[in-house]
Amino acid sequence: MIDDRYECHFELEAKRFRFFSEGPKGKIEKIVYYSQTRRENIYNLGFGDYNGSINDFDDQIITNNGDSRKVLATVARSLYTFTDRYPDASIIATGSTLARTRLYRMGITNNLGLIEKDFHVWGFMGKEFVKFEKNAAYEAFLVKRKKINKFDI
């Protein structure tokens, strides 16, 4: 999943990423932004199409550019760059709609083995985060980069 992705450029101390989706609807600028929450080392992953009128991203736009897997892989890859810079960060993500949250869950489920090599993954269910398991409906997701053991290299 992570190998088939768009080239991504980061800015603002590796908290904001820009890339372009390319498909039948044209070349569309996408933004991934990691914003600090009120809790230390907890960041929210925001993502959407760039909207020039607000000079920010809009997570309500439905692009349907035929490249959702590649777009999600690019967003997933940004996690590596972000957590390289902020190794103690935990990242919360949820879709702006139930359908998008479901799409994110499917992406995690389909690539769980690969993701779990480098990240701990939890899903929010009810009132708490629990270890992510396939075939469970979650309201949000939390990931944290695993520490690299220098003896594993």
Tell me what pLDDT residue 3 has: 62
Tell me what pLDDT residue 149 has: 60
Residue 119: partners with Cβ closer than 8 Å, 6 or more residues away:
79, 83, 143, 144, 145, 146
In the predicted model, residues of the chain with pLDDT beneath 50 are 1
What number of other Cβ atoms are within 10 A of residue 121's Cβ?
16
What's the whole-model pTM score? Answer: 0.84
Q: What is the residue-wise DSSP string for 31-56?
A: EEEEEE-SSTTEEEEEEEEEETTTTE
Structure token digits, residue 123: 């899903």
Closest CA to 120 of 128, 110, 131, 129: 131
Tell me what pLDDT residue 150 has: 56
Tell me what pLDDT residue 118 has: 94
Opening angle at CA 116, ends 112 and 120, nearest 5 = 115
> HSE-up of 112 (CA within 13 Å, CB side)?
13
Q: What percent of the chain has pLDDT over 90?
A: 58
Tell me what pLDDT residue 58 has: 78
User: Residue length, the chain?
Assistant: 153
pLDDT (tens digit per residue) in 16-41: 999 999 999 999 999 999 999 999 99
Tell me what pLDDT residue 2 has: 54
